[in-house]
Amino acid sequence: MASDVADALPESALTLSDVGPYLRAQTEPLLSRAQVLTCVGLLETTRLALSRETDVEHAEGLQRRFGGARRPEAVGRHPERSPSLE
């Protein structure tokens, strides 16, 4: 069955096992460091506070929009700060 799916994929589509090697092969920068830092800064200044309350609100919003099972153990997990780009 899996080979039938792979045979039916368009040439430009990737299977899950192809994603990692594909991304590692991409070496040409698309954004400059300054552009990336600008985007990160915009995200950090416009996001909601990192808190259990906003995590729960986000999970509830996803549940309302998409339904399906929720992973309660994932709610409330977030880094104390954004990872450095250096």
Please report the pLDDT score of residue 5 as a whole number.
Answer: 57
40 vs 46: CA distance, rounded Å = 10
54 vs 15: CA distance, rounded Å = 33
> Which residues form the domain of 53?
2-74
pTM of the model: 0.42
80: phi then psi, degrees, rounded to nearest 5: -65, -30
86 vs 20: CA distance, rounded Å = 22
Please report the pLDDT score of residue 42 as a whole number.
Answer: 95
Please report whether residue 16 resides in a domain: yes
Please report the pLDDT score of residue 15 as a whole number.
Answer: 92
Please report whether residue 83 resides in a domain: no
Please report the pLDDT score of residue 21 as a whole number.
Answer: 95
| Residue stretches of the chain with pLDDT short of 50 | 1, 81-86
Please report whether residue 8 resides in a domain: yes
Of residues 86, 73, 2, 84, the one with CA closest to residue 44: 84
Please report the pLDDT score of residue 81 as a whole number.
Answer: 45
- The total number of structural domains that make up the chain: 1
Please report the pLDDT score of residue 26 as a whole number.
Answer: 94
Please report whether residue 26 resides in a domain: yes
Please report the pLDDT score of residue 86 as a whole number.
Answer: 42
**Beta carbons within 8 Å of 44's beta carbon, 6+ residues apart:** 82
**Beta carbons within 8 Å of 33's beta carbon, 6+ residues apart:** 85
Please report whether residue 84 resides in a domain: no
